[in-house]
Copies of this chain bind each other. A is one copy, B any other.
Amino acid sequence: MEKVKRNVRMAVIAQRLTDTPNQIHTLNEFASLFGAAKSTISEDITLLAEAFGQYGGGAIETVPGAAGGVRYRSILSRAQMEETVFSLSERLRDPARILPGGFLYTSDLSSDPGMATRVGAIFATLFLPEQPEAVLTMETKGIPIALMTAKHLSVPLLIARRDSRAYEGSAVKINYVAGPNGDRVETMTLERRAIAPGQRILIVDDFAKNGGTLNGMADLVNEFQAHVVGVGVMVAARELHLRHAHNVRPLVRVRNMERFHEGVEVEPIRF
C-alpha cells in the first residue's frame, strides 16, 4: 500500500471530526482508513489539536479509556460569539421587521440555516459545562436553533407540542400561561418516553417576552422529575424574568417591546 502523506491524513481527519461534533472516533478507525500505525495517527491528532487551537476552529479532545478516542467540540472563542450576536443585532434593527400590532418579525432569522448553526454553536459553548443530556424546545420557531444546539452537544432534541397526537404514544400534558400579555392558558405536551427521571435538560427557544412558554417547559421537565440545567433564548425582552430563573442566557435583549413602531432597540449581550 502506498504511504498516505501526513497532510492528506490530517485534512481528512479534520473533515471527519468537524462533520460529527462531539462524536467519539477511535484511533483504530483512522489507522485502518489510512493503513497507518496508531502512533502515527496519534501524532496527526496532536498536530491537528494545535492547529485548531491556533486558528480558533473549535477544540479537539482526547477521551481516555476503553470507549475512548478523539472528538471535535465546536467551542467558540469569545470573538466568534460576539461576531454572531453583533450580526444578529444588526439584522434585528431593520425597521421592516415591525409588523402591525407591534410584533417583531423574526421567523427568517431563527430558520436561516447559517444563523441557526451559529446560534446553536454559541448555546453549546455556553452550556457544555452543565453537561445537558437533551435539548427541549416548544414547536415551532425555536426548533432550528434547538436542533443545532443538540447537534453540537451530540444529544437528542425533544419537541414539546401544542396538542398530543396519536402517533406519539402516551404523553404528559400541562397547562401554562401564554400570550403577549400573559392572559391566555394554553396546553403543552411531550411524549412519555422522551425524558427519563433525573435527566439534565437544556431548554432552548428563539424568542421570549414574558417567559410563559419557558416557564411552561420548566414545569414540564419537573413533571418528568428531571432537571433544567440552563435556558438559552435567542431574543428576549428586556423585562424577561423567569420563575425558575437560573442560568438563563439570552443572546440579544430587545428594549421597547411595547413601542416597536418607534424603532427597534437592540442590546447584544457581552460574553
In the complex, chain B residues whose CB is within 8 Å of the CB of A108: 156, 193
User: Which of B11, B101, B157 lies in contact with A11, CB distance below 8 A?
Assistant: B11
One digit per residue, 1 when the CB lies within 8 angstroms of any chain B CB and 0 when it does not, for chain A 131-167 equals: 0000000011101100110110011111101000011
The interface residues of chain B lying within 8 Å CB-to-CB of A166 are 99-101, 103
Residues 50-72 (chain A) with a chain B CB within 8 angstroms: 50-52, 54-55, 57-58
Q: Chain B residues near A113: list those with CB within 8 A.
A: 147, 150-151, 154-157
> Would A99 and B157 count as touching, CB distance under 8 A?
no
Partner of A147 from B101, B143, B155, B156 at Cβ < 8 Å: B143
Q: Is A23 an interface residue (CB 8 A)?
A: yes
Binds B, one of A14-22, A87-95, A244-252: A14-22
Q: Decide if A168 is an interface residue (CB 8 Å cutoff).
A: yes
Q: Cβ of A104 and Cβ of B167 under 8 Å apart? A: yes
Q: Does chain B have a CB within 8 A of A169?
A: yes
- Bound-state CA distance A169–B107 (Å) is 10
One of A2-10, A212-220, A262-270 at the interface: A2-10
Q: Does A114 contact B (CB under 8 A)?
A: yes
Contact B112 A12 (CB under 8 A): no
0/1 per residue, A29-54, Cβ < 8 Å to B? 00001000000000000011011101
A201 interface residue (CB < 8 Å to B):
no
The interface residues of chain B lying within 8 Å CB-to-CB of A107 are 159, 167-168, 191
Q: Give the residue of B103, B111, B168 whose beta carbon is less than 8 angstroms from that of A159.
A: B111
A202 to chain B, nearest CB (A): 13
Q: Please tell me if A208 contacts chain B, counting CB pairs below 8 Å.
A: no
Answer yes or no: A106 CB below 8 A from chain B CBs.
Answer: yes
Residue among A14, A112, A144, A154 facing the most chain B CB atoms (10 A cut-off): A14
Q: Is the CB of A157 within 8 A of B14?
A: no
A160 to chain B, nearest CB (A): 10
The distance in angstroms between the C-alpha atoms of A57 and B106, with both chains bound, is 35
A-B pairs, top 5 by smallest CB distance, nearest first, are: A113-B151, A103-B167, A14-B14, A7-B7, A18-B18
Given contacts A8-B47, A15-B52, A114-B151, could you give 6 more A-B pairs where the C-beta distance is less than 8 Å?
Answer: A7-B47, A11-B51, A11-B52, A12-B55, A107-B168, A147-B147
